A = this chain, B = another copy of it.
Amino acid sequence: MSAIVNRRDVDFMLYEMFGLEALLAEPRFAGWDRATIAAVFDTAQTIAETKFLPCAALVDAHEPHFVDGKVVMEPAVGEALRAFAEAGLLAAGFDEAIGGMQLPMLATMMVNGMFQAANVSLANYSFLTIANAHLIEAFGSPEQKTCFLGPLLEGRWFGTMCLSEPQAGSSLSDIRTRAEPLPDGNYRISGSKMWISGGDHELTENIVHLVLAKIPGGPAGVKGISLFIVPRYRVNDDGSIGAWNNIALAGLNHKMGQRGTVNCLLNFGEQGDCIGHLVGEPHKGLGYMFHMMNEARVGVGHGAASLGLAGYLHSLDYARNRPQGRLPHDKDPASPQVAIIEHADVRRMLMAQKAAVEGATALLAYCALLLDRQQTVTDAAELARIGLLLDILTPVAKSWPSEHCLEANKQAIQILGGYGYTRDYPVERIYRDNRLNHIHEGTYAIHGIDLLGRKVSMQGGAALAVLLAEIGSEIEAGLTDPDLACEASALRMALNALDAATRAVIGCGDRNRALANATLYLDAFGEVMIGWLWLWQARVAKARLAEVAGDAFYAGKIAAFRYFFRYRLPGVHAQFALIGALDDTCLAMEVAQFTGF
């Protein structure tokens, strides 16, 4: 059993749930078929298992450190990332025209998931480089594309995203980094950027920072933010590496997890000119950044699900092989101990992990399919529908896995008991790694406000209406099948509760009060989405079971579907009732009341 992927489930998602074959029939993906895609997965799995996985504990224990002015890290990091780049995987999702493989996002995301499951600390370097290159591809000038995309996609240079500042984490409105125009059309960048993953290292000959900064005289707040390409070393006209660009490492952050990813505070232009190249038009930087956010956030959600999967597979393997104790009815101490998977609570913890991980993966695969269809659909109405679905689902796709696949990791530790709490087993590291996902790429709370404060009401509620219609179709299908009707009906009730709570919130004139429970709304909303995707998975599995009776994989899907509807979904009603009541118990709390002084 692989420690990082269940290829059977990958195939289920790609071909049985989300119709990758139909996508491959589109001209854009004409170069691909099921066999060639399987070959990409085979290659990637081998690299992930032989280069990324073996050094995961090592890079956790020996994090990047500072020696003689340089960031030093384990040689295994560079070796793994070179193997990744040499297999062309940095370019997997990019257009053939710029040297990419033009692989569908649906497949690309799942390929990348194997690396996240194996060693997320290393996968971050490629993840950021890909996101960086996507932005330059979408909004860069022809010269910028020529200069930067090749080296990025070949892995000769890596990329970063520089948004946060020490005094302005989530509040980009308050960033202070300045970009002063120079006569040659470039800008002089000055300021500090915090939490920069991959911000300084010797893995590649250059690092391409994408930096949000303000051009003096521009509008206040987020409307005055521009986007700049700021390379660590300046790039000569012939593409060769030039002088150091005055980007100084001001400090390394020492994190709870994801320790193999160097993360730092950078000072731009402190000791001399730091040259930045404006991307697109001035003051539109945040818009460019958000254009890529859907994809990046789906990727973060998939990273959380992949870590959930890694913990699930490890604890499943352990549970199958660790003898301990006896079943409740067996009082004979001379009888042999059973494998712990025989214990009811171990099964429950495995089931909880399966339901969370495979439910999350289905949601993320659905989002990836939507991203792919944005590339192939031409009908304007359908494109609008896809855009709305992505807009409303993205905060959920980022957040639900970050919460519930972290919980899954907690259960993986519990299954291993004392061993799970030691660094001799990977589950505690995975749990530490996964804890980051609610913090970066927008915190949990910010996604709650995004969903409840904007997405459900945007365009007169158009996104929510489209989504409810989509789920409604699945419910209708489920209601016609006696085996699924009970759950389909439960999903209808949950959807009604969601709808009622949403209306109550939208109708509230006090915006602060309306959004006071937005995080809980996001979580309950996510439960309903995962319920929908489990109903969908069960319908597909049941149809396949009619052909291959007794198949354990499909039977397992249906069992996990039942689990989700029995153990999880009923909980949303209490949540939606609370949200719909516009409860302000927390909001009304006075500061002194927390402790009494």
Contacts and interface: CB of A to CB of B under 8 A. Distances in A.
Contacts of A222: 333
B594 A316 contact: yes
Contacts of A587: 344, 347-348
Interface stretch (A48-56, A91-99, A283-291, A571-579): A571-579
Given A348-B519, A586-B344, A435 B448 contact: no
A369 interface: no
A440 B418 contact: yes
Contact of A590 (B9, B423, B555): B555
Given A255-B421, A256-B421, A423-B256, A337 B174 contact: yes
B439 A8 contact: no
A585 B597 contact: no
A194 B418 CA distance: 9
A432 B1 contact: no
B422 A553 contact: no
Contact of A6 (B253, B341, B346, B595): B595
Interface string A426-450: 0010011001101110011100110
Q: Which of A428, A554, A577, A594 has the largest number of chain B CB atoms within 10 A? A: A594
A173 B334 CA distance: 9
A591 B351 CA distance: 11
Nearest to A2: B595
Contacts of A173: 325-326, 333
Contacts of A417: 169-170, 439, 443
Given A325-B170, A586-B351, A344 B414 contact: no
Q: Is the interface of A mostly helix, strand, loop or mixed?
A: helix
Contacts of A343: 445
Interface in A498-528: 511-512, 515-520
B329 A512 contact: yes
A423 B258 CA distance: 12
A281 interface: no
Q: Which of A337, A345, A438, A555 has the largest number of chain B CB atoms within 10 A? A: A345
A6 B593 CA distance: 12
B350 A594 contact: yes
A515 B573 contact: no
A546 interface: no
A597 B512 contact: no
Contacts of A555: 590, 593
Nearest to A341: B591
B8 A551 contact: no
Interface string A191-227: 0001100000000000000000000000011100000
A-side interface size class: 35 or more
B512 A344 contact: yes
Nearest to A516: B344
Interface stretch (A23-31, A471-479, A556-564): A556-564
Contact of A585 (B418, B435, B566): B566
A168 interface: yes
B552 A596 contact: yes
A585 B556 contact: no
A297 interface: no
Contacts of A328: 449, 453, 511-512, 515
A422 B596 CA distance: 29
14 contacts: A254-B424, A255-B422, A256-B423, A256-B432, A329-B511, A344-B512, A344-B587, A345-B444, A418-B439, A552-B592, A556-B595, A559-B589, A567-B578, A570-B574
Given A169-B324, A328-B512, A421-B436, 7 more contacts: A9-B595, A174-B337, A194-B418, A254-B424, A414-B438, A414-B443, A555-B593
Interface of A: 1, 6, 8-9, 164, 167-171, 173-174, 194-195, 220-222, 253-257, 313, 316, 320, 323-329, 332-334, 337, 341, 343-348, 350-351, 354, 410, 413-414, 417-418, 420-424, 428, 431-432, 435-436, 438-440, 443-445, 448-449, 453, 511-512, 515-520, 551-556, 559, 562-563, 566-567, 570-571, 573-574, 577-578, 583, 585-597
